[in-house]
Structure 1
Amino acid sequence: MAGIRQILQRRRAADSIRRITRTMEMVSTAKYKTYHHRRDVAAEYEDALSQIGYLLVTSQEPINHPVLKANKSNRSAVLAVGSTRGLCGAYNNHISHLVDVHIKNAVQFKRELDIYATDSRLLSTLAYRGIKPEKVYPNIDKCLEGIGIDEITDTCINRYIAGEIDTFDIVYMQYFSASSQSVQTMTILPLPELIDNLTTRSVPIWPYDVSFEDFYLSPDAYEVIKGLARIIVRASIEFCFMDAALSEHLARMVAMRSATDNAENMIKQLTNEYNVARQSQITGDLLDIVGGTGALQ
């Protein structure tokens, strides 16, 4: 059994860890609540854009716009969204596994693949797997502040219209509820696939009672879709980043809570060991006193 001094040192260290993890859990909880409120507000806006997009892609006379048509460039682009900071469990490992699946699929079907990533802890995981992103964008927090979102949006739309890529996907951790998050691939372009994904979720939101032909458009539909496509793509990318931020803070909150519980269990165990060691020392001292008294008599 370790000495009393060593046990006390270990208990103090465990108590310091408990304080740190408890603080980090509280910080992550506060950020989680903040992003959750932002997501609830943005969800209504996202649903409204999805309804408008659904009307455009289901018009009786197809609108001749590049983002609504498929091309055959045989090249895809994938944006991997990792966690801004660490201590959030296997978050980045799940993202890198799905990126690896995209790479294997591209090799199997003899397609070119461009990989982009956010400035995150995911970069070290990708580097370990031998994956080097074509470009690194700002992290989740900066993108949600408006730094980098516009650049990502313009890059993917311009490359798609130019025929350089035929799909643009985002690999991220999708938030379903506080007890359910899963790594997913969201197809952003071509636009009909994005609209189909948004309007056929667990709660269908497409408008049943109106059609595209019920509206009088000024300017014409081509000009409307030109501006609207960018708005829908940008909002969808931002919503993916918001889901990723929510999932990250929730994963860190759970990880820190588990670490706090482990530290508390260790403190209890070390306290018991300290009490046993201290009682043994006291018993030994009493026996020495009794033995010395007996020798004097």
Structure 2
Amino acid sequence: MPSLKEIKTRIASVNSTRKITSAMKMVASSKLHHAQVAIENMLPYEHMLEHILKTFLVSTPDTDTPYDVVRPVRKVALIVFSSNSSLCGGFNANIIKMMQNTLEDYYSKGLTKDDILVYPIGRKIAEKVAKMGLKSIGRYPDLADKPNSETCRQIASEVEQKWLSGEVDKVELIYHHFKSAGSQILTRKTFLPIDLEAELYADNERDLSSNIATQKAQQYLKEHGKSSSSKPKENVVPLNDNFIVEPDLKTVLTSLVPKQLHLMVYTSLLDSNASEHAARMVAMQTATDNADDLLRSLNLQYNKSRQAAITSELLDIVGGSVNS
């Protein structure tokens, strides 16, 4: 049985760890709020661009663009999003596992490591790609911590040129789609050739007004039929659907689709960034709760040991007085 001093030392150690996890949870919560604001500010542009593309596709479904040509897959590029740091639960492990499953899928189709290019966004995935001996195109550790639209545009433009020139035949995105603070969906999505209809009808419903991430809180809201979102949903109302296209629809789509590609990379980055902070917030909250449980157990054990020691001393005193 541990001594009182050992138990007291462990209580102090757990208390110190709890302070750290509690502070990290609050920091992650603050960063999550900023990430949610960034997504919310981007959504109106996303919705309007999707509306314009949808209108064009509905009016001329047989429009021929160079971005929807499906060809045999001999070279592949993967854009994979992870974090730079740990302590975010299974966030990075899930991304790495999905990337490995994707690689196995292509290996089974006859491709080799030399046929696959990886754009690693985040230090964790960059380290894994280097360890696996895959071809890595650039390193973007700063982008994982501080999302930047211009860098995303450059990545999208570079990948677009590789695809148009035939250097790669297919491009995929692997990231976490942020739905709410308590729900992040591991996603593998085709980037090129782009399927605009699939993108337009994708599940884009989000809850960006709440930081509720615990399972009990989510279950409570579900049972009581209340949404954790305090803001009503706003639909983007177009000013006019009767677009006048100059010089022609194919030229306009050739200009709009690269903007959509840029938006897909930037949205994936914002999703991954928000999902990382949400995962870290949940992990640190769980660690804090576990520390509280451990402290209660240690305090109970300390009190029992202390009471046993006092009782033993009393018995020794009483026994000594009787003998004398």
Q: TM-score, normalised by structure 1?
A: 0.87
| Residue aligning to 2:293 | 265
Report whether the alignment pairs 1:171 with 2:174. yes
Question: C-alpha distance in 1, partners of 2:118/2:167?
Answer: 14
Of 225-234 and 151-160, more deviation after overlay is shown by 225-234
Offset at residue 226 of structure 1 (A) = 3.7
For residue 172 of structure 1, give the secondary structure of its aligned residue in structure 2: strand
Question: C-alpha distance in 2, partners of 1:50/1:171?
Answer: 21
Summarize the alignment of residues 1-297 of structure 1 with structure 2, pairs less than 5 Å apart: 1-60=1-60, 62-72=62-72, 74-111=74-111, 112-126=115-129, 130-139=132-141, 140-142=143-145, 144-146=147-149, 148-191=151-194, 193=195, 195-202=196-203, 214-296=242-324
Question: C-alpha distance in 1, partners of 2:188/2:175?
Answer: 7
RMSD across aligned C-alpha pairs, in angstroms?
A: 2.7
- Report the count of equivalent residues: 290
For residue 89 of structure 2, give the secondary structure of its aligned residue in structure 1: coil
| Residue aligning to 2:219 | none
AA paired with 1:117? P
Offset at residue 18 of structure 1 (A) = 0.6
Kept after mapping to 1: 8 A contact 2:89/2:279:
yes
Offset at residue 66 of structure 1 (A) = 2.4
Offset at residue 146 of structure 1 (A) = 3.8
Q: 5+ unaligned residues in a row in structure 2: which ranges? A: 206-234
Offset at residue 10 of structure 1 (A) = 0.3
Offset at residue 221 of structure 1 (A) = 3.5
| Same amino acid, percent of matched pairs | 25
Runs of 4+ in 1 over 6 A off after TM superposition: 203-208
For 1:206-248, what per-residue CA distance to the aligned partner results, in whole angstroms no more than 9, with x for missing partners? 999x87xx43223444443343222211111111111111111
Offset at residue 69 of structure 1 (A) = 3.0
Kept after mapping to 1: 8 A contact 2:122/2:144:
no
Kept after mapping to 1: 8 A contact 2:75/2:168:
yes
Kept after mapping to 2: 8 A contact 1:93/1:125:
no
Kept after mapping to 1: 8 A contact 2:145/2:273:
no
Kept after mapping to 1: 8 A contact 2:85/2:123:
yes
Q: 5+ unaligned residues in a row in structure 1: which ranges? A: none
Question: C-alpha distance in 1, partners of 2:274/2:198?
Answer: 20
Question: C-alpha distance in 1, partners of 2:37/2:281?
Answer: 17
Question: C-alpha distance in 2, partners of 1:148/1:137?
Answer: 12
Question: C-alpha distance in 1, partners of 2:125/2:321?
Answer: 70
Question: C-alpha distance in 2, partners of 1:288/1:186?
Answer: 74
Kept after mapping to 2: 8 A contact 1:138/1:147:
no
For 1:86-125, what per-residue CA distance to the aligned partner results, in whole angstroms no more than 9, with x for missing partners? 1111111211222122212212222432222123223344
For residue 278 of structure 1, give the secondary structure of its aligned residue in structure 2: helix
Of 137-146 and 77-86, more deviation after overlay is shown by 137-146
AA paired with 1:33? H
For 1:121-168, what per-residue CA distance to the aligned partner results, in whole angstroms no more than 9, with x for missing partners? 23344456x253422431344561346313311211111111212221
Offset at residue 13 of structure 1 (A) = 0.4
Question: C-alpha distance in 2, partners of 1:217/1:100?
Answer: 44
Question: C-alpha distance in 1, partners of 2:9/2:140?
Answer: 42
Relative distance call for 1:7 and 1:239 in structure 2 (3 A) is same
Kept after mapping to 2: 8 A contact 1:88/1:249:
yes
